Amino acid sequence: MNDTIAAISTSLGVGAISIIRVSGNDSIKIVNKLFKGDNLENVDSHTIHYGFIMDNDIKIDEVLVSIMKSPKTFTAEDVVEINCHGSIASTKKILELLLSNGCRLAEPGEFTKRAFLNGRIDLLEAEAVMDIINSKTEKSLSLAVNQLSGGVSNLIIDLRNDIIKTLANIEVNIDYPEYEDIEQVTINMLKDNVINIRKKITEILDKSKDGQIIKNGIKTVIIGKPNVGKSSLLNKLLDEEKAIVTDIAGTTRDIVEGTITIDGIVLNIIDTAGIRKTDDVVESIGVKKSISLIEDADLILFILNNNEKINNEDLEILEKIKNKNSIVLINKMDLESKINIDKIENNNIIKISALNNEGIDDLKNKIKELFNLEKIDQKDYNYLCNARSISLLKNCLDLLNNIDEGINNNVPIDMIEIDLKEVWNILGEIIGVNYYDELIDQLFSQFCLGK
Ligand SMILES: Nc1nc2c(ncn2[C@@H]2O[C@H](COP(=O)(O)OP(=O)(O)OP(=O)(O)O)[C@@H](O)[C@H]2O)c(=O)[nH]1
Ligand SMILES: [Mg+2]
The CATH number of whichever domain residue 404 belongs to comes to 1.20.120.430
Is the predicted pLDDT of residue 282 greater than 80, yes or no? no
Above 90 in pLDDT, residue 279? Answer: no
Q: Could you give the 3-state DSSP secondary structure of residue 302?
A: strand
**Residue 55: inside a domain:** yes
Are 218 and 326 in contact by the 8 Å Cβ rule? The answer is: no
186 inside domain? yes
Which tens digit of pLDDT belongs to each residue from 5-47? 999 999 877 788 999 999 999 999 999 999 999 999 999 999 9
CB of 443 closer than 8 Å to CB of 116: no
Tell me: do 100 and 135 sit in the same domain. no
Whole-angstrom Cα distance, residue 263 to residue 376?
9
Ligand nearest to the CA of 228: 1
With respect to residue 440, please indicate whether it lies within any of the assigned structural domains.
no
Going from the C-alpha of 98 to that of each of 27, 73, 105, 316, 405, the distances in angstroms are 9, 20, 9, 64, 60
Q: Residue type for 257, please?
A: E
| Averaged pLDDT, 168-193 | 76
pLDDT at residue 308 is higher than 90: yes
Residue 254 has pLDDT above 80, yes or no: yes
Q: Is 441 inside any structural domain?
A: no
Q: Pinpoint the alpha helices (H) of 274-320.
A: 281-295, 312-320
pLDDT of residue 281: 75
Q: Averaged over 340-355, what is the pLDDT?
A: 92
336 and 244 in one domain? Answer: yes
From atom 27 of ligand 1, which residue's Cα is the shortest distance away?
Answer: 247
pLDDT at 269 over 70: yes
On whether both 116 and 135 belong to a single domain, the answer is no
SS3 40: helix
The mean per-residue pLDDT over the stretch 353-362 comes to: 96
> Does one domain contain both 245 and 371?
yes
What is the 178 CA–ligand 1 centroid distance (Å)?
80
- What pLDDT does residue 447 have? 81
Do residues 74 and 141 both lie within one domain? Answer: no
What atom of ligand 1 comes closest to residue 248's alpha carbon?
A: 24
Beta bridge partners of 329: 303, 350
- Indicate which residue's Cα is closest to atom 21 of ligand 1: 227
For residues 383-410, give the mean pLDDT. Answer: 93
- Same structural domain, 391 and 301: no
pLDDT band at 361 (very low <50, low <70, confident <90, very high): very high
Q: Between residues 242 and 285, which one has the greater pLDDT? A: 242
Task: Decide if pLDDT at 325 tops 80.
Answer: yes
Same domain (yes/no): 75, 88: yes
CA-proximal residue: ligand 1, atom 1 (nearest): 332
Mean pLDDT of the chain: 90
pLDDT at 377: 65
Number of domains in the chain: 3
Whole-number pLDDT of residue 379: 66
Query: Rounded to the nearest 5 degrees, what angle is found at the Cα of 147, between the Cα atoms of 145 and 152?
Result: 150
Residues 247 and 353 in one domain: yes
What is the value of pTM for the model shown? 0.77
pLDDT tens for residues 188-238? 888 999 999 999 999 999 888 888 889 889 999 999 999 999 999 999 999
Residue 447 forms part of a structural domain: no
- Work out the end-to-end distance of the chain between its first and last CA atoms, rounded to an integer number of angstroms: 16
Same-domain status, 95 and 243: no
Range of the domain at 261: 218-377
Q: Are residues 252 and 105 in the same domain?
A: no
Domain boundary among 121, 155, 187: 121
Which atom, in ligand 1's list, is nearest to the CA of 245? Answer: 16
Paired sense of beta strands 58-68 and 218-224, if any: unpaired
Ligand 1 site residues (CB inside 6 A) read 224, 226-232, 245-247, 249-252, 273-274, 331-332, 334-335, 353-355
CATH code for position 78: 3.30.1360.120
Backbone angles phi, psi at 18, to 5 degrees: -120, 150
Same domain membership, residue 199 and residue 87: no
**Which atom of ligand 1 is found nearest the CA of 225?**
25
| Mean pLDDT value of segment 85-114 | 94
Residue 450 lies in a domain: no
CATH number assigned to the domain comprising residue 335 = 3.40.50.300
Evaluate if residue 443 carries a pLDDT over 90.
no
Question: What is the spatial distance between Cα 219 and Cα 413, in angstroms, rounded to a whole number?
Answer: 46
Say which range, 290-294, 378-382, 413-417, has the weakest mean pLDDT: 378-382
Q: Give the confidence band of 295 by pLDDT, cuts at 50, 70, 90.
A: confident
State whether 372 and 228 are in the same domain: yes
Residue 145 belongs to a domain: yes
C-alpha 145/C-alpha 382 separation (Å) is 10
Q: How many Å apart are CA 264 and CA 268, to the nearest integer?
A: 13
Looking at 334, 353, 377, the residue that finishes a domain is 377
269 lies in a domain?
yes
For the segment 419-435, the average pLDDT, to the nearest whole number, is 92
How many angstroms separate the alpha carbon of residue 233 from the centre of ligand 1? 8
* Largest pairwise CA distance in the chain: 86
Phi/psi region, residue 306 (left: phi>0; alpha: psi -120 to 50; beta: rest), is alpha
End-of-domain residue from the set 121, 140, 168: 121
**Residue 450 scores a pLDDT above 80:** no
Residue of minimum CA distance from atom 2 in ligand 1 = 332
Overall average pLDDT of the 274-295 stretch: 77
